[in-house]
Structure 1
């Protein structure tokens, strides 16, 4: 029986994780859950799974959750400090890091510092704080298991003996597949008319609004390139990207002898999450089984780096190193939020991200406090830049 803490439990990764845990009550006990504002859903989950602790970050929602669970055995907490304590709790075996964006960075580092087994779905923490996370994991012995479908695919192909953060032996390069989002085949001239509703309507994956927009701009794939650099200790030139609209092959490992190992499956996050929760043991889930005959063709295309500027910006930031990925990540969160709010056009997301990368000087990553200060600065400058051009 493994005890599990899930941050971002009310989101899509939380949904998939809890769906698997429901199927295997003899193997997992939910020890702690966290959410942000969705108090109603968090209350329902707490009533179902009866965790020891619940953490909610929104102060108004905290009062609602605390009152609703006042007669239960679940303790309700609020704030970033409570979230860090939740993942570092000595009673917790596995931490599912499912908070979206930079908001999840503190708790990821807290889990790594505590030497936990971290099932990582928050890519931004590795993108922004890769040097800190990987160095700390080496010091504490924390085990990182990637849950993103692409990185989990590579992790599966590398075999059970592979240690995250080391350059895999006999590997020439790796290939990340990208669905291409809803607009990979849309003429660039039409990007000016793309609406938020169109951008969040991903053709294959059920994701939140921010990640769906990142998929539409291919920024999501760019962030995954940076994440792959840290997780698998691979340089820029050894990380390839191909557009694969069917999302059946999730990524590939290309070996020195010409062999290519690929992980395949229907596009359902329960597959990589069940692999992560199982820690090498294959767990049943509710995902559909792949039928290649019914599927028919599998297509692959070169990613258009010019049309999808964000993908190129991510590569540029990775090569620049230091704080460049953190700058890009923070700027992108503001730009995407502005697009979703109707303040900028879809084609301007990459434009503002590029402007901020040019404005902010790149330096070495010093500490989490340094990254937090930088994050605040980048957000302020990106917001000011957007407002000045409206």
Structure 2
């Protein structure tokens, strides 16, 4: 009898299981239970939803980041499968990232919380599927060094970086002239400039194409998200600043393009759903039927591209400045943006104050090349303090 050619299931740890990336990841896992097994999950505070996921997938390793929610989950342990180990705080996320039985760790927690768990996964030699772009913006130098030192795979989950990853496969690094990340333009792409002074958080959260969390949706409107993605791309693909650019593409169907030295362009296209890049990252290099229907070219599909006006989108200008000067500037940009966006969502500052807060913070903190991760984390804390002081 011939030997079986079936592959064992990949065992997945999902950090950020209750957010939008987490929900789409669960859709992918549910569609491919013969290929993927969920062995660990974590969330910031929504332990009730974690319990439901744990019961559905029989997950016995659960992490809850916030202390009060962790204590509540432990107090109601009967909501989880029998013998479930519930861990808390950052140490808990790190523990989950190094589960011996895990093959791949998908980090989808918001902000910089996922940095230490991501580094822990790489140190353990796990494949790392990265959906939290802030991790490479904050500490790309150290994350990429850890991936190389531990011979660990780093698989991008952001739709734009996943698209570049697919277009680059099989091509030599020196054959790449530039990469072009597409940007939808967010909720205010077509608004007259004078209306932006009156934007509300509710307006900013109405993204025309994507269903995402509040912070990243606001970042899409300011194009801070695209700035962070350009910085991330520089680290992921080993490129110079002038090799990373962006273009407005309202339809969000072309997710990125790669231009080669011979002038040829390769593009990756799919509907605007995160299930496509998530599935590609989790099952790579295997390709199977997707969760959602592909593009239907029997229907009219129009693809539009526009140059980005950095006067209208000053956050992109600031991000590109940080790319050029390097050092801790990208970490300062990221930290100040997180503070400013949170203040905007809380109705503490107007929409147009977001770039002002970020620029003032960048002007205040002296840039330098960090020698270790501790220096970056200290700068991140200082940037948050400075940005908070600039909210008034």
1:16 corresponds to 2:24: yes
Q: Secondary structure at the match of 1:231?
A: helix
When the two structures are superposed, what TM-score results if normalisation uses the length of structure 2? 0.95
State the Cα distance separating 1:187 from its structure 2 match: 2.0
User: Aligned equivalents of 1:124 and 1:264: distance in 2?
Assistant: 25
User: Aligned equivalents of 2:125 and 2:60: distance in 1?
Assistant: 21
When the two structures are superposed, what TM-score results if normalisation uses the length of structure 1? 0.95
State the Cα distance separating 1:283 from its structure 2 match: 3.1
The counterpart of 1:5, out of the listed 9, 13, 23, is: 13
Q: Which consecutive unaligned segments of at least 5 residues does structure 1 have?
A: none
The counterpart of 1:292, out of the listed 294, 297, 302, is: 297
Structure-2 residue corresponding to 1:80? 90
The counterpart of 2:338, out of the listed 333, 351, 356, is: 333
Corresponding pairs, count: 382
Q: Secondary structure at the match of 2:351?
A: coil
Q: Secondary structure at the match of 1:346?
A: coil
Structure-1 residue corresponding to 2:129? 119
Q: After the TM superposition, which of the residue ranges 63-72 and 85-94 deviates more from structure 2? A: 63-72
| Alignment of structure 1 residues 28-47 onto 2, 5 Å | 28-47=36-55
Structure-1 residue corresponding to 2:106? 96
Q: Secondary structure at the match of 1:301?
A: coil
State the Cα distance separating 1:72 from its structure 2 match: 1.6
Structure-2 residue corresponding to 1:378? 383
Structure-1 residue corresponding to 2:239? 234
State the Cα distance separating 1:285 from its structure 2 match: 2.9
State the Cα distance separating 1:193 from its structure 2 match: 0.5
Structure-2 residue corresponding to 1:261? 266
State the Cα distance separating 1:355 from its structure 2 match: 0.5
**Pair 283,367 (structure 1): closer, same or farther in 2 beyond 3 Å:** farther
Structure-1 residue corresponding to 2:329? 324
Whether the 8 Å CA contact 1:274–1:284 is kept in 2: the answer is no
The counterpart of 1:49, out of the listed 51, 57, 62, is: 57
Q: Secondary structure at the match of 2:299?
A: helix
User: Aligned equivalents of 1:332 and 1:186: distance in 2?
Assistant: 22
User: Aligned equivalents of 2:348 and 2:300: distance in 1?
Assistant: 40
User: Aligned equivalents of 1:208 and 1:333: distance in 2?
Assistant: 13
Q: After the TM superposition, which of the residue ranges 219-228 and 108-117 deviates more from structure 2? A: 108-117
The counterpart of 1:150, out of the listed 145, 151, 160, is: 160
Whether the 8 Å CA contact 1:43–1:68 is kept in 2: the answer is no
Structure-2 residue corresponding to 1:304? 309
User: Aligned equivalents of 1:89 and 1:40: distance in 2?
Assistant: 22
User: Aligned equivalents of 1:230 and 1:21: distance in 2?
Assistant: 28
State the Cα distance separating 1:286 from its structure 2 match: 2.3
State the Cα distance separating 1:66 from its structure 2 match: 2.0
User: Aligned equivalents of 1:283 and 1:117: distance in 2?
Assistant: 20
User: Aligned equivalents of 1:202 and 1:374: distance in 2?
Assistant: 32
Whether the 8 Å CA contact 1:131–1:365 is kept in 2: the answer is no
State the Cα distance separating 1:238 from its structure 2 match: 1.1
| Alignment of structure 1 residues 217-228 onto 2, 5 Å | 217-228=222-233
1:27 corresponds to 2:35: yes
The CA deviation string for residues 107-142 of structure 1, in whole angstroms up to 9 with x for no partner, is 111112222100110100001101011111111111
Whether the 8 Å CA contact 1:275–1:283 is kept in 2: the answer is no
Q: After the TM superposition, which of the residue ranges 214-223 and 15-24 deviates more from structure 2? A: 15-24
Q: Which consecutive unaligned segments of at least 5 residues does structure 2 have?
A: 1-8
Structure-2 residue corresponding to 1:169? 174
Whether the 8 Å CA contact 1:50–1:73 is kept in 2: the answer is no
